Amino acid sequence: MKNYGPMLYAYPDSMGNHLSGTVEILNMQEFKGIFQSFYILPSMYQNDLDRGFCVVRYDLDERVATEKDLSDLRSMNIDLMMDFVVNHASTGSPQFQDIVKNGSRSKFKDFFINWNQFWEGHGELDQEGILRPFSSAIEMMYFRGPGLPVLMIECDTGEKIPYWSTFYKQFTEKTKENGEIRRIYQAQMDLNIQSPMVWEYYQDAINHFSSYGAGLIRLDAFGHVSKIPGRVNFMNEPETWDILERIKALADPNGLDMIQEIHDCYAERTYFKLAEHGYRIYDFFLPALVIDAFIRNDGSIIRCWGEEIIRNKYQTVNLLCSHDGIPVYDALGLLDRKQIDEVAKLISSNGGEIRYLPAKKDIPYNIGTTLYSALGENDDNLLLARAIQLFMPGVPQIWYLDIFAGPNDYDAAKMGGATGNKEICRTNLSKDQIGQYLKKKVVVDQIKLLRFRSEFPAFARDAEIHIESAGYEMSFVWKKQDYKASLHLNLLTRRFSIEGLAPDGAVSFRYDS
């Protein structure tokens, strides 16, 4: 990825109901040139679940995106970042459907992880025909839901085969006219990386990304790919690094860089290991750090994290909110447990929905919310948070809805039910709605700041960056070839000023909140 300026972050149909609508919006005078890259979420692929993260095929779903749209974005000098869902594929995929049809005779029978074969010699069969691992073999493993991550498949051949499904899994039974009962599966089935066919599938996916013009691929749920009996099933070492190198070997000839989507708390230092191996890292810590700074009127922890990035030359992509809301568990270690709880409590009091992981039921993991609602729907808070993000080291990734000061969508969350509550922060906006939002000062001012971050020469990958904090005051300074960009802020009053100085000392940009 060559560009270092702001990155738009959205579904293909988030703005204008189709990727072509997003292209039109980005060509509007207000938006032209402010985004240098675009992370397009995977609902542009053929998928059937989890709004894109359950891939059937990597062919485009032309109901939301076409190759012309991608070509139009590239012609605007916008780098494209795309999702590579490496851990799992859909039950609607051709590979899985072949297993349902042909059972153990399917050529894809080892494409997914046969649960019983995986645990052979490490457990005992139960009455349902599922091998239950001995505690010694499974005690190190961490599962995201209650019970074992297994989906029992009833094949057309009459066979029953249990397959591994880390994330979403369910089936419904449908009775045909002849009285036959047919199981309909909806699940994200874990891929068996020991199978050569999976690596052929990976190569095919990478060929798709290359043909679409991607420059960066995000490895979704990568930490869960390596699984070994008796070991942890998250970021196994050294296997994880071997897998990454194999994927990199596929990506490099296609000119694709990689970033891994790995959520883990700061204290575990997983981010450090990624950086040590030469990979970009996601700054999932920043959202909780900013909200903590607003609670305590103290930016010293933001400064410490920023200085670590600068000192170690980490290549980061940062964000303030995501398609899943605001991560908070990631910051544990930079923030203590009490601070994490206070951040979660504040966001919850502003309408956010706290989510916990089953294995860590007492620690907030992620909170379903928009950034604007998390900050009390306060324009001053939103603008200051954005200013801090834009001056932190790294590529600033901007969730589309937060540009428009979008509030929580409680109706969408309720309609989605137990598995659809993430829709609280995923409201699609029409072009007419965006036109109305552009009349709001908080939206206009964010765009001004984004344009400054995109165009001013001081914001370079190799810029000299200094961060200072003293009580409730903070300052950030970027310097490059005698260009200087500075941010001075007061957490107590939520006021800030930004200045851009040209090499001759002339003020080329000034903003006072």
Query: Could you give the residue numbers annotated as active site?
Result: 220, 261
Whose structure tokens read 């191996």? Answer: 277
Residue 58: both structure tokens together: 């990597």
Helix spans in 58-144 (H): 67-75, 94-102, 115-118, 135-138
Q: Is the peptide bond between 196 and the residue preceding it cis, with omega within 30 degrees of 0?
A: no
Q: Say if residue 203 is exposed, middle or buried (CB neighbours under 10 Å; 0-12, 13-18, 19+).
A: middle
Contact 425, 354 (CB under 8 A): no
Alpha-carbon span 227 to 234, nearest angstrom: 8
Contact 28, 55 (CB under 8 A): no
Q: Say if residue 507 is exposed, middle or buried (CB neighbours under 10 Å; 0-12, 13-18, 19+).
A: exposed
Alpha-carbon span 4 to 340, nearest angstrom: 30
Nearest to 84 by CA among 229, 236, 296, 251: 251
Torsion of CA 494, 497, 498, 504, to 10 degrees: -160
Alpha-carbon span 113 to 106, nearest angstrom: 14
